[in-house]
Amino acid sequence: MKIFSLAFLWYIPIISGLLFLYPFVFPITDSQQKLNKNKSGVANIVFKSTDGGQSWQDISEGLPGDKLEGSLFVNDRGFYLRTGNYIYLNKPNNKSPFWEKEIFPDEHSNIAPGKSRIFAYVYHQGQFRQKINGSGEWSPIYENFQLKGIIDVFETGGGTVFIVCDRGRGLFRSTDNGKNWKEVTRGVWKLVESNGVLMANSVNGTIRSTDDGKTWETVISEGGVGIDIAPIDGGFAGITFNTQSDTRRVRTSYDGGKTWQAIDADLPPSMKISSIIQVGDYFFCGHPNGIYRSRDKGKTWQLILPSIENKVFNLYVSGNVIYAIPSAGGC
């Protein structure tokens, strides 16, 4: 199962925007087509495509307030947003109304996906909770974990759990559902898994593990940090910051992360390339110019959706559905 998680308050800037009054779908006819707005000229804050980027629908209607605040993640079950005392869920096949809503016990908690559950945690205090899929109750978990500065929780398909702490506090691993924890590396934030290989963004670039997270090695190091990492068919795609060129580079690997090939020759160089995903046969890249799509695994790119008010789209995928969120700071 491919899982995309996000410690929203830490390494993705808070997304802001005004709620859109009427949902719509707009087709992409060429790379220069402008993004439609409603009569008030308000830019939308959450977009969804179910046809490989050919058309995009605003699904902001039904969200609270005039901006997104809280934490979010996207997995195979859909798009989850915790804001205030509620969790909002948009399933891949949801029509109007777009969002299902349930009460959440703590407005200060972040959320993260597990194998068959949802985790909740408080950045400053830990206070971990879990809710098993299909149940309606949140219960305490990992009460013996005492460190603070929690930015993410990640669970592998085999049930190994990682807690990610910020400011060099480390990446902690447990194979017994939290009874015991061991620090395995430091300076990590986003983790993904595919075919038994773990990849992560780190302060040193991109790192990987082939032994269920016991040990880690750096596979991309260009003097800068890792920006994004995502599973693709047969491998991984990643974005890193290159200090020599002062740009962000986009690469793919098809050998479990051992070697990487650049796929950004046809993309305009930028310091704010935010995300890379695959849906079907297409790659999609969030760029300051807008959303680019590639039909040939990154050899060539076409701008299919221009940016909104100079914001950068952060991209997420659930099955064959793409979610796009414009952010003033990108990623």
Q: Is the pLDDT of residue 182 over 50?
A: yes
pLDDT at 4: 41
Label residue 32 exposed, middle or buried (CB < 10 Å: 0-12, 13-18, 19+).
exposed
**What tens digit of pLDDT does each residue of 97-117 get?**
899 999 998 878 899 999 999
Q: Is residue 115 part of a domain?
A: yes
Q: Which domain holds residue 91?
A: 1-16+70-186
Phi, psi angles (nearest 5°) of residue 277 = -140, 165
Assign residue 3 the CATH number of its domain. Answer: 2.40.10.500
Distances (CA, A) of 121 to 32, 100, 149, 165, 185: 42, 22, 10, 12, 21
| Whole-number Å distance between alpha carbons of 165 and 169 | 5
Percent of the chain clearing pLDDT 70 (strictly above): 85
> Which pair of tokens denotes residue 81?
């947003």
Q: Is residue 128 part of a domain?
A: yes
Q: Is residue 295 part of a domain?
A: no
Number of domains in the chain: 1
pLDDT at 198: 98
Dihedral of CA 115/254/219/328: which sign? negative
Tokens 């179910």 correspond to: 50
Cis-peptide, bond into residue 97, ω within 30° of zero: yes
Q: Is 222 helix (H, G, I), strand (E, B) or coil?
A: coil
Mean of pLDDT over the chain: 86
The more confidently predicted of residues 1 and 135 is 135
Q: DSSP secondary-structure letter at 257? A: T
| Whole-number Å distance between alpha carbons of 222 and 243 | 6
| Whole-number Å distance between alpha carbons of 208 and 217 | 6
| Conformational region of residue 157, where left means phi above 0, alpha means psi within -120 to 50, and beta covers everything else | alpha
Q: Is residue 106 part of a domain?
A: yes
Q: Is residue 180 part of a domain?
A: yes
Q: Is residue 141 part of a domain?
A: yes
**Model-level pTM?**
0.86
**What tens digit of pLDDT does each residue of 247-266 get?**
899 999 999 999 999 999 99
**What tens digit of pLDDT does each residue of 133-163 get?**
888 899 999 999 989 899 999 999 999 999 9
Task: Name the amino acid, one letter, at 287.
Answer: H
Contact assessment for residue 51 and residue 65, using Cβ atoms and an 8 Å cutoff? no
Q: Is residue 181 part of a domain?
A: yes
Percent of the chain clearing pLDDT 90 (strictly above): 68
Region 224-252: mean pLDDT is 93
Q: Is residue 216 part of a domain?
A: no
Tell me the DSSP string of 66-124.
Answer: SB--SEEEEETTEEEEEETTEEEEE-TT--SS--EEEE-S-TT-EEEE-SSEEEEEETT
